[in-house]
Amino acid sequence: MNVGIIGSGTMGIGIAQVAAMNGCEVFLYDQNTSQTKKSLEGLQKVLARLVEKSKINLEESENIYNRIKFCTELQDFKDCDLVIEAIIENKEIKTKVFQQLEEIVSDKCVISSNTSSISITSLSSELKNPKRFIGIHFFNPAPLMPLVEVIPGLLTENNLAEEMVSLMKSWGKIPVIAKDVPGFIVNRIARPFYGEALRIAEENIATPEQIDDAMRTLGNFKMGPFELMDLIGIDVNFSVTKTVYADYFYDPKYKPSLLQQRMSEAKLHGRKTGKGFYDYAENAVKSVPEKNAKLYEEIFMRILSMLINEAVEAKRLGIASDEAIELAMQKGVNYPKGLLAWGNEIGYKKVSETLQNLYDEYQEERYKQSPLLKNI
C-alpha cells in the first residue's frame, strides 16, 4: 500500500514511521524541506534505539527507513492509495492542500486529515469528491500511542470508516469511530481536565503543583493537568480549546482561560520552550506542594465530576459508543479508568451533587449537568 504523509513535523514523521513499520511505501512531503531532513535524521536515531533495545533488528531498521521516500512536491503522491495530512491546524491552509491533492491522486485514493479539532465535514465541503475524505486522528507520539480516532464527515462514503478501522487495526492501533463534533471524543471530553484546573489556579484556590499532586495521588493520573499542558505545549492546548469553544457556539463549558492565554502570549509554552507552568532548566528547583487532604479531595472531585459529566453527555448525544468513549480516554490520554466506569464506581449521585454545588456557588452554565446524569 502506498501512503502519502503531508507534513513532516512530530506527528507526520510519527505516522510515517507507523505506516513504514507495517510494510507500507510511504511518501513524505513538507513544504519546508529542511524540516523533512531534520525529521528523517531523528527517525534514524529512533530506529537505532529500537535496534539497541532488540525491538527490531538492523535489517528491519534499514527496510523501515528505506520505505519512506523524501518528496519535494505533491506530484509525487500520484500513486498513493491513502494520504494523511498532518500540517498546521488552519482550515484554509488544509483545504487548499486538499484541493491541490485532488488534481494529482486517483479517484480511488482516500484523502484524510489528522486534525484534532477541525470539522471533517467542513474540510471536505470544498472538494470535488468529498465521499473519499475522512478524519484519521493519531495521538502524539504516534508510534507509541495506541488510539486512533476515525471520523467520517456528513459527506463521507458509508463504508469508508469501517475500512479505515480495519486498516488501523492491521497497523496495530486501537481505532474508535467518532461523530464529527468539535474535539471528537478525546479533545471534547478532556477539556475540563485542563479548563477546570486552570479555573482553580486562577482563583488562587490551589497552586498548579497542588492540583497536579491531587490528581496524581487521588486519581492515579500519570500526569497532572499542568504537567500535561507543559508536555503538549500550552500554545497547542490553548489553540484546541479556542477551536472547540468557537465551534460549540461559545458554550461556557469550553470557555478558554485567561491565564493560559497570557502564558501563550509570553511564549511560556512548556517543555519545548524550557518553561511553562514548571521550569525545565537544568538547575531549576522543583517546588514541593503543600499537601492538604481536604483541599485535594475538593480539587479531585471537582475536576473528575466535570470529566464524567462530559463523558455522560457524549454518551447521550451518541458521539461514540460506550466502549469507544471508555477506550478513547484510556488509550488516547492515558486515563487510569474509563470515565463511565468511574462514575459508576464513585456514584453518579455524588457527581451530580458536586456539579450542583458548583452551580449554586458560581451560577454559571459551565456547571450544567447532562440531562442523562441524574437518570443513570
What is the CA 41 to chain-centroid distance, rounded?
25
Which candidate in 137, 264, 309, 326 is catalytic? 137
Nearest alpha carbon to residue 221 among 330, 340, 124: 330
Count how many residues are written for the chain: 376
116 is catalytic: yes
Instruction: At 93, list the grid cell.
Output: 491552509
Which candidate in 114, 116, 305, 370 is catalytic? 116
Residue 279 is classified by DSSP as B
Cis peptide before 141 (omega within 30 of 0): yes
Which candidate in 117, 119, 124, 187 is catalytic? 187
Q: What is the rounded CA–CA span in Å between residue 335 and residue 314?
A: 17
Instruction: Decide: 152 and 120 in contact? Cβ < 8 Å.
Output: yes
* Residue 269, CA distances (Å) to 36, 330, 369 in order: 23, 25, 32
Report CA Rg, the chain: 21
- DSSP H or E run through 218: helix 208-219
Residue 76 is classified by DSSP as G
- DSSP H or E run through 44: helix 33-52
Instruction: At 79, list the grid cell.
Output: 500513486
149 is catalytic: yes
Instruction: At 95, list the grid cell.
Output: 483545504
Instruction: At 276, list the grid cell.
Output: 511553562
183 Rama class: left (phi>0) / alpha (psi -120 to 50) / beta: left
25 is catalytic: no
Which candidate in 149, 209, 310, 313 is catalytic? 149
Active site residues: 116, 137, 149, 187
